[in-house]
Structure 1
Amino acid sequence: MDEEEAMISMQQPHLYLIFDDWECGYSFRKVDLPSRAPALIPEGIARGGATCLPPPFFRLQAQRGLPYYFTASGSKIWSLHPNEEGKSLDSGGSCFDVHAETFAFVPRHTDQPKPVYFPIGNDKLVTLGCLSIQCLDIGVKKHPTGVALSWSDPLDVPVDSMDIISHAVFPDGRTIFVSVGFVAAECTYSFHLSDDGGSLRMCKHQGEIGLSLYREKLGHICSCDLASAATSQRRPDVKYTEDHLFTMGPDETHVGATLVYMGHESKICLVECMINVFNDRYGGPYSFEKENTDQEKTDDYMLRLTTFSLEYSSDGDLTTGHRRVRYYKMPKNVSRRVCQYPVAFWM
Structure 2
Amino acid sequence: MSKRPGLERCSHRAAKRPAQRQQQYLYLVLDDWERGYSVHRVDLQQQQQDDTDNDDDAHLDTNPPLVRLEVQHVVSWSFATHGTKILAMQPSAASPAIPGFDTETLAVTVCPWPQSRGTFRKPLFASVGDRLFAMVSPCFDVLGAPPPPDSETPWSWTSLAAGSSTPPFPSDCATCHVFHADGRTMFVSAKHWRSQLSYGDRSSTFSFDTERLEWRRHGEWLLPFRGQAYYDADLDAWVGLCREKEGAGYLCFCDVPPAAAECKNPPPWKLGEDRLFRADSGRHRGAKLLSMGGSSSRYCLVECVAHRDEERLGCPRRRVLHITTFRLKYDKHGRLRTTGNHTHPSKLYKVAHKLNEPILDPVAFWI
| TM-score calculated relative to the size of structure 1 | 0.81
Separation of aligned partners in 1, 2:67 and 2:91: 20
CA contact (8 A) 1:302 1:327 kept: no
Question: Quick check: 55-64 or 229-238, which moved more?
Answer: 229-238
- Which residue identity is paired with 2:283? T
**What is the distance in 2 between the residues matched to 1:37 and 1:339?**
28
CA change 1:185–1:316 in 2 (3 A) is: farther
Q: Which amino acid aligns with 2:248?
A: L
Contact 2:76 2:360 in 1 (8 A): no
Q: Is the 8 A contact 1:142 1:149 kept in 2?
A: no
Task: Look up the match of 1:266.
Answer: 297
The whole-number CA distance in structure 1 between the counterparts of 2:176 and 2:260 is 15
Report the Cα distance in structure 2 between the residues aligned to 1:151 and 1:248, rounded to whole angstroms: 39
CA distance in 2, matches of 1:136, 1:70: 15
Matches within 5 A, 1:1-347: 11-34=22-45, 37-41=48-52, 46-53=54-61, 54-84=63-93, 89-109=94-114, 110-111=116-117, 112-113=119-120, 114-121=122-129, 123-141=130-148, 144=151, 146-155=152-161, 156-182=166-192, 184-194=201-211, 200-202=213-215, 204-212=216-224, 214-216=243-245, 217-228=247-258, 231=261, 232-247=263-278, 253-264=283-294, 265-276=296-307, 279=309, 286-288=312-314, 291=315, 298-299=317-318, 301-334=319-352, 337=357, 340-347=360-367
Corresponding letter in the other structure for 2:95: D
1:317–1:10 distance in 2 versus 1, CA, 3 Å: closer
**Percent of aligned pairs sharing the same letter:** 30
RMSD of aligned residue pairs (Cα, Å): 2.6
CA distance in 2, matches of 1:129, 1:248: 28
**Could you say what secondary structure the match of 1:83 adopts?**
coil
Partner of 1:3: none
The residue type paired with residue 253 of structure 2 is: S
Distance in 2 (alpha carbons) for counterparts of 1:305 and 1:326: 5
In 1, the alpha carbon distance for the partners of 2:359 and 2:167 equals 31
CA distance in 2, matches of 1:46, 1:249: 18
Question: Is the CA contact 2:303–2:322 (under 8 Å) kept in the aligned structure 1?
Answer: yes
> What TM-score do the two structures reach when normalised by structure 2?
0.76
Contact residue 249 and residue 279 of structure 2 kept, 8 A: no
Residue 124 (structure 1) shift: 0.9
The separation in 2 between residues aligned to 1:67 and 1:275, in whole angstroms, is 16
Alpha-carbon offset, residue 272 of structure 1: 0.5
SS at match of 2:77: helix
Q: Secondary structure at the match of 1:158?
A: coil
Q: Is the 8 A contact 1:209 1:229 kept in 2?
A: no
Residues 190 and 38 (structure 1), Cα distance of their counterparts in 2 relative to 1, 3 Å cut = same
CA deviations 1:77-98 (Å, max 9, x no partner) are 12221434xxxx3311123211
The answer (yes or no) to whether the contact 1:229–1:236 under 8 Å persists in 2 is no
Q: Are the aligned partners of 2:30 and 2:38 in contact in 1 as well (CA < 8 Å)?
A: yes
Aligned length: 311
Q: Residues 248 and 173 of structure 1: is their aligned pair in 2 closer, same or farther, counting only changes over 3 Å?
A: closer
The residue type equivalent to 1:73 in the other structure is: H
Higher share in helix: 1
Shift of 1:149: 1.6
Gaps of 5+ in 2: 1-19, 194-200, 226-242
Q: Say if 1:248 and 1:154 are closer, same or farther in 2 by CA, change over 3 A.
A: closer
